[in-house]
Amino acid sequence: EFDLKKAQDRAHILEGLRIALDHIDAIIELIRSSNTAEIAKNELINRYQLSDKQAQAILDMRLVRLTGLERGKIETEYTDLLKSIEDFKDILAKPERIDQIIYQELLDIANKFGDERRTELQVGDVSSIEDEDLIDEEEVLISLTHKEYLKRQSTNELHTQNRGGRSVKGMNTHDDD
């Protein structure tokens, strides 16, 4: 539906450009004689029965698009869009075509990304997980003060003190502790 709407909108603009190319001399004269772009747009809408978007597209068109080669490109794009619009309408009218497109896109994704798993999952006995099983085993230093303050600290956080160096302070103490 999105592609159909987009193609229809573009075809609508191209129809206006085709009308402009058929009456190019009169349209150039109309634009040159208008005082403002708004007057020119209204005049295009009234004289050539164009929509607001078509008139704006004509006003935005560069002069280089007036060449014969550009006219051929516009005609080719317009006929291709009409074919696409018919195809989109046919797809939306037939659910089996929608299913076939989805199936083909899934096959393409599977072919592009469907390789073997690169990591191996090792699943042990998960029925008996205790809190202790979730704690990493590591060497620790336990400090107990006179006032019975207790601190657990990993030995990785500590480092040896060299001559004149500063050590890591393990914990805060209170007076007379």
Give the pLDDT of the chain (177 residues) as one tens digit per residue. Answer: 999 999 999 999 999 988 888 888 888 888 889 899 899 999 999 999 999 999 998 888 877 666 666 788 889 999 999 999 999 999 999 999 999 999 999 999 988 888 877 787 777 666 777 888 788 888 888 888 888 888 888 888 776 666 665 656 656 666 766
Whether 144 is in a domain gets the answer no
Of residues 12, 10, 6, 7, the one with CA closest to residue 50: 12
pLDDT of the residue at 125: 65
Q: Tell me how far apart the alpha carbons of residues 175 and 154 are, in angstroms, rounded to a whole number.
A: 25
Whether 136 is in a domain gets the answer no
pLDDT of the residue at 91: 94
pLDDT of the residue at 113: 87
Hey, which residues does 142 pair with through a beta bridge? 152
Hey, which residues does 141 pair with through a beta bridge? 153
Residue 90: what residue type? D
Whether 108 is in a domain gets the answer no
pLDDT of the residue at 160: 66
SS3 label, residue 174: coil
Whether 25 is in a domain gets the answer yes
For residue 79, the domain's CATH number is 1.10.268.10
Q: Tell me how far apart the alpha carbons of residues 75 and 172 are, in angstroms, rounded to a whole number.
A: 83
pLDDT of the residue at 150: 87
Whether 86 is in a domain gets the answer yes
Domain count, the chain: 1
Q: Which 8-state DSSP code applies to residue 168?
A: P
pTM above 0.75, yes or no: no
Whether 149 is in a domain gets the answer no
Whether 155 is in a domain gets the answer no
Whether 62 is in a domain gets the answer yes
17, 61 contact by CB (below 8 A): yes
Domain that holds residue 57: 2-95
pLDDT of the residue at 126: 66
